[in-house]
Each structure stands twice: as C-alpha cells, then as structure tokens.
Amino acid sequence: MSEDIKDEKLENTEENLNQEEETVEETKEDNLTEEEKLKQEYDNLNDRFLRLYSEFDNFRRRTQKEKLELYKTAGEDIFKSLLPVMDDFERAKKSMDESQDLEGLKTGVDLIYNKLLNVFKSNGAEPMDDIIGNEFDSEIHEAITQVPAPSEDMKGKIVDVVEKGYTLKEKVIRYAKVVVGQ
C-alpha cells in the first residue's frame, strides 16, 4: 500500500509542476509587449507556411516521380501481349528453315497475323478496313496520289489503299495512305 501512496503523491507532484509551468507561460504571455506578441504570431505563421510549402514540394516531387515511372512502363502491357506473337514468329522462322511445306507455312503466318490483330484490338487499336469506295476524308486519310477515276461515281473517292490506317480508341495513330480518283 505504501507504494500506491508514493505513486499517487508522485502523480500529484507532476500535475502540480505541469500546472505551474502553464501558469508561468501564461504570465510570460501576459507580460509580452504588443510587438513581441506580433513577432511570436509571425514566427508561428512563418513556421506553418514553411511546413506547408515543404509538404507541397514533397508532394510535387513524388507525383513527378510517379509520372516518370508511369511513362517508363506505359507500354509494358502492350509489349507483354506482343511477346507470344514474337515467339510464334520465331518458331515460324525456324520452321521455314526446316520445312518445305508452303501450305503449312501460309497457314502458320495467317494464324500469327490473326493473333497479332487480336492483340491490337484488345489494346484498343483498330485497323481502318473497307475504305475503298468511301469519300476521301483528310482527317483520317492521306492522299499519296490521284489517278483518273475508273467510273464517274468514283470521283473524289478512294480507289486503292497503299498503307492501312489505324485508330487507337477513336484517335488516328496512323493515317491510311490512299489513292484517290479524280
């Protein structure tokens, strides 16, 4: 029991000391001149400002670093999806050296092409198909030459596609290179 009493007295003594310190601080604040109070307030505000500025600067640096990381690895998913296609091309190349079966080779290349096309589509890239006979549109087509139109209704329309165009989520990433009838 005597230990409990000692602990209680110790706690009371600590409380008294804390109260005395608070009283001394209040007395000091009361004794401060207006100029000293303003300087103290200025120091407090300046300290808060510096902390906030540092916090914002850290945030800005962290987001820049995250953006840089994102740019570095932005194409990672696409390349990962293209790796199986690359493997298939390597196997086809090896098979071309060993085999003379042209029909089997043609079938293999068609399978690889379809696989690559599916990778494009799954990542949002779509080829511009079936554009022969459509009106020429400079927003999505690039005219590389003009030829006499085979018929009157083909004037100003696409006669031939030299290089297929592609869109990525409705944005043109490669313009279709076309021949236009005049």
Strand partners, 172: 167
Q: 40-54, 65-79, 109-123, 157-171: which has the minimum mean pLDDT?
A: 65-79
Asked if residue 141 belongs to a domain, the reply is yes
Nearest C-alpha neighbor of 109 from the set 127, 79, 89, 90: 89
* Residue found under tokens 């001394």: 24
On whether residue 180 sits in a domain, the answer given is yes
Q: Does the pLDDT value for residue 100 go beyond 90? A: no
Half-sphere exposure of 15 (CA within 13 A, CB side): 6
Question: Where do runs of H (alpha helix) occur along 32-75?
Answer: 34-73
Task: Tell me the residue type at 85.
Answer: V
Q: Give the CATH number of the domain where residue 181 resides.
A: 2.30.22.10
d(CA 131, CA 133): 6
Alpha-carbon gap, residue 94 to 172, rounded angstroms: 35
Query: Tens digits of per-residue pLDDT, 144-156?
Result: 999 998 888 888 8
Average pLDDT, the chain: 85
> Does residue 61 lie within any of the structural domains?
no
**pLDDT band for position 133 (50/70/90)?**
confident
Domain membership flag for residue 9: no
User: pLDDT band at 60, cuts 50/70/90?
Assistant: very high
Instruction: Give me the pLDDT at residue 11, please.
Output: 65
Pick the more confident residue, 98 or 21.
Answer: 98
Q: Work out the average pLDDT over 96-122.
A: 87
Tokens read off for 48 = 């808060």
pTM comes to 0.57
Domain boundaries, position 167: 126-182
Q: Is residue 146 part of a domain?
A: yes
**What gap in Å lies between CA 112 and CA 86, rounded to an integer?**
9
Q: How many distinct structural domains can be found in the chain? A: 1
48, part of any domain: no
Q: Mean pLDDT throughout 90-118?
A: 87
Q: Is residue 71 part of a domain?
A: no
pLDDT of residue 54: 95
